Amino acid sequence: MAWSGVEAVLDRPDAPTPIANALVAMAALGATIPSSEPVVRREGDTTVVDLGVVVDLYEGGVGGRFVDGRREHAPALVDACRDGATHDDLAESSTGPWLVRGLGMGYETPVIDAQRGQGLTLMAGMVLSVTDGDHRDVVAVTSGQPEVLSAPPYPADRPAGSSA
């Protein structure tokens, strides 16, 4: 979304939209620009990438930390998203500010974080947005191990964007 398009949405206080509300909330937390300036990266530098999309009011996205073009391993919170997992299971697995929620138009159920969802249990068949600190993935809860639907289509040990 071009920043001029974002400004057009924000300039319409008479017709707030879910996107405008989200952008206002992000700006309140300091995210006021869609990208950063060009920067020279050195070997070993960490880059945080977070991509979000909204299509026909459905929201989704992925994010993570990359070192030398390789995405850091998914946090334990992703692995904790199993059939029967409770709030306590998820809270014990988190490593930073965390949120586990359904995907759809905004925040779909379940919504589980440090303050909400104490009585909820994950069930096979749920598809979730799982955020733990800088890491965000789309995860399907199955009868076995969780399936990361947002995993890259290349081996984890290969740098992103390379053919090696």
Residues 56-94 pLDDT 10s? 766 667 777 778 777 777 789 999 999 999 999 999 999
How far is CA 103 from each of CA 57, 111, 142, rounded to the nearest angstrom?
11, 10, 16
Blockwise average pLDDT, block size 10, the chain, 164 residues: 43 57 64 64 82 70 76 85 96 91 78 90 94 87 93 65 60
- The pLDDT assigned to 151 comes to 77
Longest dimension (CA), the chain: 52
Write down all domains in the chain, each with its CATH number in brackets.
1-35 (no CATH), 43-164 (3.90.230.10)
CA nearest neighbour of 91 among 114, 110, 117 = 114
Both tokens of 128, joined, read: 């979730």
Both tokens of 130, joined, read: 């799982």
- The pLDDT assigned to 5 comes to 43
Phi, psi of 7, rounded to the nearest 5 degrees: -60, -35
According to DSSP, residue 138 is labeled E
- The pLDDT assigned to 6 comes to 45
Half-sphere exposure of 69 (CA within 13 A, CB side): 11
